[in-house]
Structure 1
Amino acid sequence: MTIRNVHGSTVDRIGGDIVAGRYAPGASIPPEPMLCEELGVSRTVVREAVKSLIAKGLVSSGPKVGTRVLPADQWNWFDADVIVWQTRVGLSPEFLRDLQDLRRAVEPAAVRLAAERATPEDIAGMEAAYALMKDAIEFGGDYVTPDLRFHQGLIAASHNRMLVQMSRALAALLRTSFEISTRRKGGPASSLPLHRAVLDAVIARKPDRAEKAIRVLIDGAREDIDTVLASGKRLPQIHEPPRRIRATA
């Protein structure tokens, strides 16, 4: 195992334990010697892992107080690792509500800008993603990856550097939503024309129409999430490969 893999697996183990509640907010994680013995790694690896967890907002460290777990509201919820650890524990209704609220705040504004600023290259990229989504529905396959590419393309077409940076941070969150939607029977097939409506409005340079269309799409995703939650079906684990959907009859 390489040094990078050792570091990554150590961060994954400690971070996962924190998110899973093994160490309560305000509590100290075990001291370095204990973690070294438990994880089979060196002190250097543990120290570097703690630095990574500090950057993710999971812990704080200081003289005489050790390394303490911070409350969940201080964690970096735009960090892909934090999202993965949370999905392993389970996605709470509150987490999913926050995700949908965030989408409603960010995506409509980005889509309005995309309808004003999208270049031919932007349109071509979204058309390609849409075509892959359509193929997945008709012939079976990975629907989630091109769905994510489509939405990231919309945000990229805003040509707003801050929104584009945010879209990269949101990727894991968006994938969570898209994975859940594929759990609902007919979910991808019913959402495909909604994606088409968004893209057509962007192509037509109609910001109001584009914003209205993306809101319909987001609200549909919320309904999918509510339906899956009510059914008690297993929720997705985004560290797993994207779920492949079956071809429509």
Structure 2
Amino acid sequence: MATDPQPDAARHVQVVQALGAQIVEGGLAPGTSIPIEEELVGELGVGRSAVREGVKVLAGKGLLETRRSAGTIVRPRESWNLLDADVLSWRFMPEPRPGDIRVLADLRVALEPGAARVAAERADAVAVRRIDEALAALYATADDPEPFIEADLAFHKAVFAAADNDLLLYVYDMISIALRSVRQVHTRSVAHNKETLPGHERVAVAIRRHHHRKAEEAMREVVEVARADAEQHVRLCC
């Protein structure tokens, strides 16, 4: 007798992905009940234990709540773990919505200049070298948008890592999931990518010299340009 290559115990991931994406994308509104267990078993082709485990995982992410009198309902957005990796993926992929692009751009303006300031205060020789290496990769990939996106993400992560603050780095690692998606939307002009290089270099130089105010100012310029790019994309596409 053939065995199932994907045991039911592991198939809860299928439930998590299907229901989670539907909730975050708005297919299941807050306050509404999800389909009953029997329906989910039939729709998703999984066993009851997979459905139950999937619901538990989504409850842990703040998306679902089980009530005796009402079944399992979708929780309001303010209860969601918005920095959860899956929630971010469902929100920003495959293509972010205009409002989400704006939210992310605003978050960068609020967060990254401060991270650069702390990096200039805390960076040791190893951290500075990693920033310089990431900057070199930016220059090396400026003619090719796909590698440039990865190099840009690596540069900003190196700045956060240089701050020597595990909470800051964790936040960056989470939002980089969304950043990668947004970069795909508006980091397509080679000429514009090259125009951003001097700004990134000013950030690197200020951190290398431990000029915290200049690092903060330089990073603010970088992320304000990114926010302007995002706003332009929203105006053109929507």
Q: CA RMSD in A?
A: 2.1
State the alpha-carbon separation in 2 of the partners of residues 85 and 72 from structure 1.
Answer: 13
CA spacing shift, 1:58–1:36, aligned 2, 3 Å: same
Q: Select 2:81's aligned residue among 76, 80, 94.
A: 76
AA aligned to 2:162 is A
| Superposed displacement of residue 215, structure 1 | 0.4
The question of whether the paired residues in 2 share the 8 Å contact of 1:184 and 1:224 is answered with: no
The question of whether the paired residues in 2 share the 8 Å contact of 1:111 and 1:207 is answered with: yes
CA spacing shift, 1:48–1:125, aligned 2, 3 Å: same
Within a 5 Å distance, the mapping from 1:97-116 to structure 2 comes to 97-116=102-121
The question of whether the paired residues in 2 share the 8 Å contact of 1:26 and 1:69 is answered with: yes
Structure 2 residue aligned with 1:245: none
Q: Select 1:63's aligned residue among 50, 65, 68.
A: 68
Structure 2 residue aligned with 1:173: 178
The question of whether the paired residues in 2 share the 8 Å contact of 1:184 and 1:228 is answered with: no
Does 2:98 correspond to 1:93?
yes
The question of whether the paired residues in 2 share the 8 Å contact of 1:177 and 1:221 is answered with: no
Does 2:131 correspond to 1:123?
no
The question of whether the paired residues in 2 share the 8 Å contact of 1:183 and 1:228 is answered with: no
Structure 1 residue aligned with 2:31: 26
| Superposed displacement of residue 132, structure 1 | 1.9
Does 2:200 correspond to 1:195?
yes
More displaced, 36-45 or 139-148?
A: 139-148
More displaced, 124-133 or 46-55?
A: 124-133
State the alpha-carbon separation in 2 of the partners of residues 9 and 189 from structure 1.
Answer: 42
| Superposed displacement of residue 124, structure 1 | 1.8
Structure 2 residue aligned with 1:45: 50
Q: Please, what TM-score do these two structures have when normalized by structure 1? A: 0.85
The question of whether the paired residues in 1 share the 8 Å contact of 2:203 and 2:215 is answered with: yes
The question of whether the paired residues in 1 share the 8 Å contact of 2:145 and 2:189 is answered with: no
CA spacing shift, 1:89–1:148, aligned 2, 3 Å: closer
State the alpha-carbon separation in 2 of the partners of residues 62 and 229 from structure 1.
Answer: 40
Does 2:6 correspond to 1:7?
no
AA aligned to 2:66 is S
Between the aligned residues of both structures, percent identity stands at 35
The question of whether the paired residues in 2 share the 8 Å contact of 1:111 and 1:214 is answered with: yes
Within a 5 Å distance, the mapping from 1:148-163 to structure 2 comes to 148-163=153-168
Does 2:125 correspond to 1:144?
no
Give runs of ≥4 in structure 1 deviating > 4 Å.
none
The question of whether the paired residues in 1 share the 8 Å contact of 2:134 and 2:154 is answered with: yes
Does 2:212 correspond to 1:183?
no
The question of whether the paired residues in 2 share the 8 Å contact of 1:180 and 1:224 is answered with: no
| Superposed displacement of residue 26, structure 1 | 0.3
More displaced, 180-189 or 129-138?
A: 180-189
The question of whether the paired residues in 2 share the 8 Å contact of 1:6 and 1:45 is answered with: yes
Higher Cα Rg, which structure = 2
AA aligned to 1:193 is P
More displaced, 1-10 or 191-200?
A: 1-10
| Superposed displacement of residue 108, structure 1 | 1.5
State the alpha-carbon separation in 1 of the partners of residues 62 and 80 from structure 2.
Answer: 4
AA aligned to 1:104 is V
State the alpha-carbon separation in 2 of the partners of residues 198 and 74 from structure 1.
Answer: 36
State the alpha-carbon separation in 2 of the partners of residues 118 and 22 from structure 1.
Answer: 45
| Superposed displacement of residue 87, structure 1 | 2.7
AA aligned to 1:55 is G
